[in-house]
Each structure stands twice: as structure tokens, then as C-alpha cells.
Structure 1
């Protein structure tokens, strides 16, 4: 009811810090309500998932593997990894090549507690039906052998992912330890254990995988075309734009652009807006070149205004 009341004054709604699985119900209810006319977005899930997918696509550019053939292990089945799994499947990962691990071990179709709670955590149950067809059991260390990619979004405790587990992964493995403020494994430990590409949620380490790389550009494109919702296809378009933008200079330490490369945001916005137009959910039509120029102008102006405010002291400098 709150969203319906305030929607005339806002172009979109961002949901933040809602616990799982309540966050799923809130998002799906609002997205499917015909009386809600503006896009609703859950950044902790959709934003993080989009940038992780971009990181996977960018990493695959470096290690020269095809997304259709890779195997993926997930540590954590919370909001972020749940949405990431769906996005990766939509992007081309075979769900049969995915195994997801929660605090009780690998999930699979008939795991007793997953089945018991299927009405409470429907997405976890659904993913259990789609993934891990061999019904492998045990913790991450038991199922990670030969995996190409590890995506962790669990506890912010280094050592949660053990070095000896990383050594079991396939050659040229990709490890994204996304817990904040501390990753599940220190990047240097993952590298020592054999991972070729390692990313975290932090800007002071290589390969930052953080939703701040996705949300601004995605919403810019959504608002510019006045899209009624934000689809998975729009998220994947943003992820592909990120990976494509970074492809020319992609290397093990930088698989996608960083936030200081602000040109990523109009590129994302354009990809998202054009996908919304293609899907028929945009109220405003644009040519691709014009949409890019429009997004770039708005972002450039905002950056310029912020720089003036910093220079004049109206915005205090960060206490570094």
C-alpha cells in the first residue's frame, strides 16, 4: 500500500535490507501487482546478481571458457546467490552444472528440510529441483572438486572458504568471495591455492564485485525509457555491457571496469533501456545513439555538479 501511495512522486522503488525470504515475497508481489505502475528493484539481490554475472562473463573472457560448459558452486543460498543463480541460468549456464551449498550442505531436490520449507522459501526449493541432479551431499569441500567457478555470499569471515578446497577446483578457476566487509577467503590465499581470477566486494582488492557497479546504470536506463519493470533480461544486458566494456583490457586482475571508469554507467543504461524497448515494456522509445547521449549528459552533469560542491566545500571530503 505504501508503494501505491507514493508512486506518483517517484520514478522507481529500491528495496533495501529486507530479510530472506520476505524480500522475495515483497518484490514479487509488487512486480506482479497491476496497480503498481513503476519499477521495483531489490538491490541486494538483483544488483549483486547482475554484477556477479558481469564478473563471470568478464572472467570467462580471460580464461577462454564457454558459459554453456562451466560448472558453478555457490556457497550461501541467500537473496544475493539465489538471484545470481537464476541470472546465470538465464545467461547460459546449464542448471545441471550448478551445486548450491547452504549451512546444512548441498541442496538437492528431495533434501528433507528444503521440501518441508518449500512454501516458506519457494525459490530455494525451485533451485533445488533444477540443480545438483546427482544429489551430491556434504559441504563445499565435498562438492567443489573440478568446479570452474565459486561464488560465495555467506559469512564475512576469512577462512570460511578453505585454501585446500580451492586447490580441488578446475584449472583456471574463478573465485568470487562477495561477503562484506571481509571476504570468505583472502584473495592472496585463493591465488596461492590455484585460483586464476579472484574477486571480492571490496574496492581495495582486485576485481571488485559490488552492486555499486550495476544499480546506477540500470536505474538510469530504466527511468530514461520509463520501463514498467526491471526484467532478468535487462539485468543480463547490463552485465553483458559491463563485460564488453572491460573486454579490451580484461586481465586476471581486472575482468570488468571499476567505478572510476564512469563511462560504464551510460553504457549500462543504454543496454538496459534498449532491452526494455525490445521487450515492449518501455513507455518512451529511443534510438540507441540518442539514448546513450541522453544518459551520458545526465551523468556528466551530475558528476560536474558534485565536483563543484566538493571544490567549494559544500560537501566535506571523506575522512581518509
Structure 2
């Protein structure tokens, strides 16, 4: 960024800081000036600085504004680099109704940022997401990466109900629930603005190879599903089944994002992949910084060769 551009971008920060600390109405913020600076400068760096001056400001950490105000502000801020926003209904409890899938976890944000930076990985392709949870990653991909078909999946009925609501809340058309979406002739070839979106109830421990084969995904993703040894083993088994049943088509790309909470869990995952004969490589850290997740979170994305 040129010095004069940097100075102009920095001049926006006090304006955002003063208005946010005073809880001024969102329409009073200099959004148009921000959009102009994002087109001319380093967007992620500027957005990160704005976050530090607003939701992460020491005064806001000590005396947080209302959750509604902060969320509305963040939704508006997210729209600026992507041209759109994602709205979510979530549970306020980490574990609710016996599942962790009703809230958005950091790796889902991290994977969404990577997808926004790498839209070609999903453009005009069929994407199957394992363990979609609240749906943030998939909604971000549907709105910014132009997939032809997107299949959200999870196994818990409460998660699926919330997921359907979030899809509709974001203006996407939802096709009837199904085990696997039917492919319309020539669908992957068209350049529709919105993808075909389906929700599938998918239990990794009982789903059969024919049911998995019916999805015929070009891309498989999952985020923050490595939270205990049992889920690690179940995930690898379903990936192994997918690999075996899709040998009659080009091997799909698979990306698994996770927060490194326990070295033992990460070792178990890579060890199970090795035993299953699934090679992997680490995806380089990306430059997008659109979401305010835990600053000290250690996150990673592995690309698997199924």
C-alpha cells in the first residue's frame, strides 16, 4: 500500500472507533469511504484494524456492547469485501440438545476465509460438506464461490432444522430433503447465480457406500469435526468409503479444517489417514482475515488425496 493510501485508510479508523464506542446507528458509519479504500488498498489489513478499533477495542472487551449491535455491525462489515453477508441463527450454548453443531466454531470461519480467497476450488462444482453445523462455511461458499450444487449434511435433527432455517434466512432456495441430490442434465455447465442447495441427513457410522456414491461430489469439505477420537475414526471411515465408491469418476478434492486443540487428536487423524491409505498435505495459511475468531487459535487445513 502506498504511503498516501495508508494514511487515508488510517484516517477511517478513528471515525469507526468513535461511532462504535458511542453505539451510533450503523447508517452513520462511513461505509462508502470504506468500500472505496477496500478497492484501492489491502482489504484484509484494513478490516483487521477496524476490528481492533471496534469489537476488539479494550473498552468493548471490558464492557461489551449488546450482542445484537455487535452482530449487526459485523454483518455489515463482512459485506464490504465479499459484496454480501451471511446471517445465522445459532444457539448461545456450546453444547445444546446433546450436540455441538448449533454454534459456529473457529475452523468454520477459517475455512470460509480460505474459500473466499480461493473461489476457483468450488466454482461450477458439486460440493458435499460433512458436518455442516450452523452452515456458515457453506453459506459463504454458496454466496461467493459459485458452486453448481451444494450439499449441506449433518446427522442431528436439531442441527438440520436450524441449518434449513439459516439457508432460507440467507435467501437461498432449498430443495426437498434427500439422501442424495439428483443431477439435472447439464446443470454443472450453466452459470447460475445461485447453486442448487440440498440438506442431507448423514450419519457417518451407518451411511452406505451406494448412498455416498449418489452424491457424486467434486469437492468434499469439513470444519471442526475432529473434537474427539470417536469422530476422528468415524470421519476417516466415511472418507475411505467415499474414496472407494467414487473410483469411477475423477477423484474429488477434500479439505478438512480444524483447530489444533490437542496434538494427540491431530496425530490420531493423520495416523488414521495413513492406515486408510489416504495421502494428505497441509494447505498454506491464507491472508484473508474477515472474521473475529480467537486470536491465539492454531488452525489448519489439510488437503486429502482420495
TM-score past 0.5 threshold: no
TM-score of the superposed pair, with normalisation by structure 1: 0.40
TM-score of the superposed pair, with normalisation by structure 2: 0.41
